[in-house]
Amino acid sequence: MRKKSSLLILFFSLAVLLFPLAPWSQAAEKGENIGSDISIEELRQVLAEGKIPVFDVRPEKEFAISHIPGSVHIFESEIDRMAQACTDKSSGPVIYCNGPYCHKTLRVAEQLAEKGFTNPRKFRLGLPVWRAFGNTAETNLTGLKQVYGADKTAVFVDARSKEEYAAGTLPGAVNINPGQCEAANKDGRLPYTDHGTRLIVFGRDVAQARQMAEEIAHRAYWNSSYLSVAYDEMKKAGLW
């Protein structure tokens, strides 16, 4: 009886350990062995070189709200568009979606292979893991409009100078400048008790916004992003 109980305990222990791997293996199917998987460092290199297109294959609304900087949105079903945008069938494109439990990347890899692509690169870690490793994301103007109108918990960060901020800003935005994250944690400008709060940074220009968003991401605010347009263009959009 004791031996039988021990075997049952061993069986359930193994089941608990192996179960988290099941969705990945079940999702694999035909797309698993097509092309190559790439790491975060390899993706950074691809983005820096700019020779191979990186496709975000999620729905357009998700892309608008946040995506890996430098990636292009082409929905998973638009395979012909991908083929036209990537002329080298032996290298690329890079495709990503919502992480290891999202099946879009594998489905797209399979369809690209049917179009003659021999090495579609799969960033299966996706946007969630990209952000978890301290990388910020990008939000476009359409995404900002969606968030500002619907997400009452979001925090909007104005990275411009104190004087520019005082002269006028997005209603409800807080002002944080480079080097102020520690102070902002303590004084409430950053939501220290909920690091998953959506944070969107805007600035005088995109470079200023991105710099501030990266600093915030390195403070473990993994749901941070920066606006892909400058403050003046954002103001013209009629949000306020």
Query: Which domains are present in the chain?
Result: 27-132 (3.40.250.10), 137-236 (3.40.250.10)
The answer to whether residues 153 and 143 touch, using CB atoms and an 8 Å cutoff, is no
CB neighbours of residue 128 within 10 Å? 15
Contacts with 32 (C-beta within 8 Å, 6 or more apart), sequence order? 106
Strand partners, 227: 139
Q: What is the pLDDT of residue 15?
A: 38
- What order do you get walking across the sheet with 155-158 strand by strand? 137-139, 224-227, 199-202, 155-158, 174-175
The answer to whether residues 64 and 150 touch, using CB atoms and an 8 Å cutoff, is no
Q: What is the pLDDT along the chain (240 residues), one digit of tens a residue?
A: 444 444 434 443 433 333 344 444 444 456 788 999 999 999 999 999 999 999 999 999 999 999 999 999 999 999 999 999 999 999 999 999 999 999 999 999 999 999 999 999 999 999 999 999 999 999 999 999 999 999 999 999 999 999 999 999 999 999 999 999 999 999 999 999 999 999 999 999 999 999 999 999 999 999 999 999 999 999 999 999
Contacts with 100 (C-beta within 8 Å, 6 or more apart), sequence order? 23, 24, 124, 125, 126, 129
Contacts with 25 (C-beta within 8 Å, 6 or more apart), sequence order? none
Strand partners, 32: none
Q: What is the pLDDT of residue 24?
A: 45
The answer to whether residues 225 and 202 touch, using CB atoms and an 8 Å cutoff, is no
The answer to whether residues 200 and 144 touch, using CB atoms and an 8 Å cutoff, is yes
Q: What is the pLDDT of residue 32?
A: 86
Report the distance separating Cα 180 and Cα 211, nearest Å. 12
